[in-house]
């Protein structure tokens, strides 16, 4: 049971950090920025504003926490579904069904 919980946490954290590789570029005339993270953008790199060029990186901790809650839930659902399918197939093989 502990290994199953640890696997969910590890997969969830890996998915959260992997979601940071997703970049969405916004090239608005007065505000050019790139958002990193999926489904919520938890890092924003601002490259240009209405005042002129800017190069700042902003970390948004609330969005990051939301991602940390979302991705372990997704990992749980995937691992739970895979476990149910595996148990179902094992039960069918024991009873001689296909």
- pLDDT tens column, 24-46: 999 988 889 999 999 989 999 99
96 part of a folded domain:
no
**Which residues does 43 contact at the CB level (< 8 Å), separation at least 6?**
20, 35, 36, 37, 57, 58, 59, 60
The predicted pLDDT at position 9 comes to 84
Number of structural domains in the chain? 1
The whole model's pTM is what? 0.73
Give the structural domain span for 70. Answer: 2-91
Token pair for 50 = 């209405």
- pLDDT tens column, 39-90: 989 999 999 888 888 889 999 999 999 998 898 888 888 888 888 888 888 7
The predicted pLDDT at position 93 comes to 75
27 part of a folded domain:
yes
């Amino acid at each position: 049971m502990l290994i199953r919980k640890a696997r969910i946490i590890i997969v969830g954290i890996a998915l959260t950090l992997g979601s940071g590789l997703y970049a969405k570029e916004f090239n608005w005339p007065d505000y050019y920025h790139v958002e990193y993270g999926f489904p919520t953008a938890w890092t924003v790199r601002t490259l240009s504003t209405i005042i002129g060029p800017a190069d700042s990186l902003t970390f948004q901790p609330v969005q990051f926490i939301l991602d940390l809650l979302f991705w372990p839930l997704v990992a749980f659902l995937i691992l739970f579904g895979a476990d149910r399918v595996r148990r179902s197939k094992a039960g069918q093989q024991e009873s001689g069904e296909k």
